[in-house]
């Protein structure tokens, strides 16, 4: 049988479907007056530990809620449950082999369980991963990246996708600096190379250093919305 080939011009963005859902999420957030932070990092950088400090300090000042993304388990959500803030866990496991990031649809699926109208700020704790979460908008107002000094100075150059998309970088675990060969100046130079002048706060979830500064940042942004 003779078959001829035909060509069809498509010009469709690979992430268009996700971006449309992200936009719908954003409209929902804007309507509720909820400021949304997409918090991203590699696994073990200290997102949950910083969130514990954040919830502890800011509870009386801002009405916070948390959407936890994880490939498996509810361990992070369990850690935050004692703060009695609206909290929803989204497991990405049902995706093919467990998705390595949250996308706009997964976030949407968690929103029905959150009282957005009663929240000033929603913090979305993304899946620990230094590449994929940066690719998928979820409707956030701002991207906060947590980076720990145990990860090495060169990572901004190796993973520019995420570092370039961050609006604020929390440089965490600085209490360990005296024990490490980590060159903070070199790291900050690399950070400026990929994202010139991006805001940064040095933090330690262990000693509490910088947590006030981060919380003030969040209060400032969260009350503007």
List contacts with other proteins (CB under 8 A).
3-15, 17-18, 96-97, 99-101, 103, 131-132, 135-136, 156-157, 159-161, 164, 190, 192-194, 196
Torsion sign (Cα): 58, 211, 128, 221: positive
- Measure the CA–CA gap between 145 and 168, rounded to whole angstroms: 6
CB of 196 to other proteins, least distance (A): 6
C-alpha separations of 117 from 99, 114, 166 in Å:
29, 9, 26
Would you say 47 or 155 has its CB closer to other proteins? 155
Asked whether the beta carbons of 136 and 158 are under 8 A apart, the reply is no
CB of 189 to other proteins, least distance (A): 10
Asked whether the beta carbons of 63 and 120 are under 8 A apart, the reply is yes
CB of 218 to other proteins, least distance (A): 28
- Give the distance, in angstroms, between the CA of residue 122 and the centroid of all CA atoms in the same chain: 11
User: What does the DSSP assignment read for 34-71?
Assistant: -EEEEEE-STTSSHHHHHHHHHHHHTTTS-EEEEEEES
CB of 36 to other proteins, least distance (A): 21
Would you say 8 or 179 has its CB closer to other proteins? 8
Would you say 33 or 43 has its CB closer to other proteins? 43
Instruction: Report how far apart the first and last C-alpha atoms of the chain are (Å, whole number).
Output: 64
Would you say 167 or 175 has its CB closer to other proteins? 167
DSSP summary character for residue 114: S
Would you say 85 or 188 has its CB closer to other proteins? 188
Would you say 149 or 191 has its CB closer to other proteins? 191
CB of 132 to other proteins, least distance (A): 4
CB of 167 to other proteins, least distance (A): 17
Cβ neighbours around 11 below 10 Å, total:
4
């Amino acid at each position: 049988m003779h078959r001829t080939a035909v060509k069809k011009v498509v010009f469709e963005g690979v992430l268009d479907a996700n971006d449309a859902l992200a936009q719908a999420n954003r409209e929902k957030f804007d309507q509720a007056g909820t400021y949304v932070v997409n918090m991203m990092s590699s696994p073990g950088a200290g997102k949950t530990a910083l969130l514990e400090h954040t919830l502890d300090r800011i509870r009386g000042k801002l009405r916070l809620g948390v959407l936890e993304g994880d490939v498996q388990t509810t361990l992070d959500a369990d850690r935050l449950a004692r703060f009695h803030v609206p909290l929803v866990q989204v497991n990405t496991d049902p995706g093919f082999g467990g998705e390595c990031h949250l996308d706009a649809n997964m976030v949407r699926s968690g929103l029905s369980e959150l009282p957005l109208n009663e929240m000033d700020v929603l913090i979305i704790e993304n899946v620990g991963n230094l590449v994929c979460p940066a690719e998928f908008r979820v409707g956030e107002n701002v991207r906060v990246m947590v980076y720990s000094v145990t990860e090495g100075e060169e990572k901004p150059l190796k993973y520019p996708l995420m570092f370039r998309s961050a609006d604020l970088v929390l440089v965490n675990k600085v209490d360990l600096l005296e024990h490490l060969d980590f060159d903070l100046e070199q790291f900050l130079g690399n950070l400026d190379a990929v994202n010139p002048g991006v805001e940064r706060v040095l933090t330690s979830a262990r000693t509490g250093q910088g947590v006030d500064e981060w919380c003030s940042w969040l209060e400032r942004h969260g009350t503007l919305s």
